[in-house]
Amino acid sequence: MGHAPPNKVWSRLEVVLQMPAMSAVVPGQVCQVFGSQDVFVALGVNLDEGLAGLEDACLGDIYLLAREAVAQKLVLRRGGDGQKVADGSALGISGAQVSIAARYTLMTPDGDKVELLALRVSAESGFEPGYFILPLSPIGPQIEYTLVKVEEPKPQEWLMDLM
């Protein structure tokens, strides 16, 4: 603790440590998503079409995760005026708006429920807008998933609140 000046008694309570101010850098939320074409209709009305927005889904269609599908890293910025793509994301351009386009409930032949979110990344700086699928529970390739429920996202629903 160093030396005390002469005739001065230093107690632990008198010592105040000065810490440098730290900036409030909050890391982004990382999620693993699939391209909308990676989750496609194998049997049903929308045969061979990928899962995307509400208007593209039909209850009873059977979906598969493509065998060659590889999850990609989407990093989101916390706080601010909505959800945005953050630096370090493999998808989108930093600052592009991310919104929940739809919520889906699917069921396996064994009766297991799977929840998926369709995310829409807006067009920013020349980047094409796109849909991505975020599984809220594990999914695997070549397993049949029957679409049993489609929901619109609630207003101002934040993806980070659901993960």
pLDDT digits (tens, 9 = 90+) for 96-105: 888 889 999 9
Tokens 């629903």 -> residue: 157
Q: Please choose, from the candidates 88, 51, 84, the residue with its C-alpha nearest in 3D space to the C-alpha of residue 73.
A: 88
Contacts of residue 15, defined as CB under 8 A and 6 or more positions apart, other chains included, come to: 1
Q: Give dist(CA 21, CA 14) in Å, integer.
A: 21
Mean pLDDT (the chain, rounded): 80
CA angle 97, 98, 101 (to 5 degrees): 130
Confidence class of residue 159 from pLDDT cuts 50, 70 and 90? low
Residue 41 · residue 63 · CB < 8 Å: yes
Which helix or strand (DSSP H or E) is residue 162 part of?
Answer: helix 159-162
pLDDT at residue 3 greater than cutoff 60: no
| Average pLDDT of the segment spanning 108-123 | 92
